[in-house]
Amino acid sequence: MRITFISDTHQKHRYCEDELPGGDLLLHAGDFMTSGYSKDEAVVFFDWFNSIKGYDKKVFIGGNHDRILEIDTTWSSLTIQDYPKIIYLQDEGFSLYDLITDKSVKIYGSPWQPEFYNWAFNLPRRGDELQKVWNQIPADTDILITHGPPQGHLDISGPPYNQGDLGCELLRVRVDEIQPKIHLFGHIHGSYGYKFHNGTHFINASILNEQYQYANKPITADWNQDDNTLVFLD
């Protein structure tokens, strides 16, 4: 199964168009907007994401910049319904049948993260609400998409901030419990990259750097579900 991972496009999604080779899945881990209030911005992204050719399924979640998804859920839900080629996940799952392995791939997405200024989808870092959100992640999840990282995994901001351990402690505990095969996220632009730990492929797919410049290419890999190996495309 060929999968492309992207995140944190912040209305600069067209910069990465030539780096989307096509495949089975295109996954976006949120922050496709700037301030997050403009319906026009959301529609620009929906139009673009829906129009991308070459992928069987295209799935996205919200992030802390995507305020419109939280403050106007009715408009968001109705608008996204007009785009039949994209799937939005907010604390819910989606199963994709893999013809090669004759198995279903279970994908789950959630936009929440520990409180970060006055942005969207924020919950107190150590509160019961955030714990409840992560407890909803099914134990049999194959691919987990969250906007922010679990603590200790690709969660160090780049220059000029250089802060570490920005990920969520409670999410880390849940990920350790269920061990999804792949965990995609973004949010911390400076930690773009890949890490394998405890049976899980961790991918921070932020395409922009800390200065919101296009600096990182989308990540595409061929995934073997049976032995959980990833082979990255150059």
- Residue 98 is predicted with a pLDDT of 77
Is the Cβ–Cβ distance between 143 and 177 less than 8 Å?
no
- How long is the chain? 234
The structure tokens listed for 201 are: 């492929």
- Residue 234 is predicted with a pLDDT of 79
Q: Is residue 1 helix, strand or coil?
A: coil
Residues of the chain with pLDDT under 50: none
- Residue 68 is predicted with a pLDDT of 98
- Residue 163 is predicted with a pLDDT of 87
- Residue 74 is predicted with a pLDDT of 97
The number of distinct structural domains making up the chain is 1
CA dihedral 13, 15, 21, 25 (to 10 degrees): -20
The CATH number assigned to the domain holding 192 equals 3.60.21.10
Is the Cβ–Cβ distance between 134 and 144 less than 8 Å?
no
Structural domain span for residue 55: 2-232
Q: What is the CA radius of gyration of the chain?
A: 16
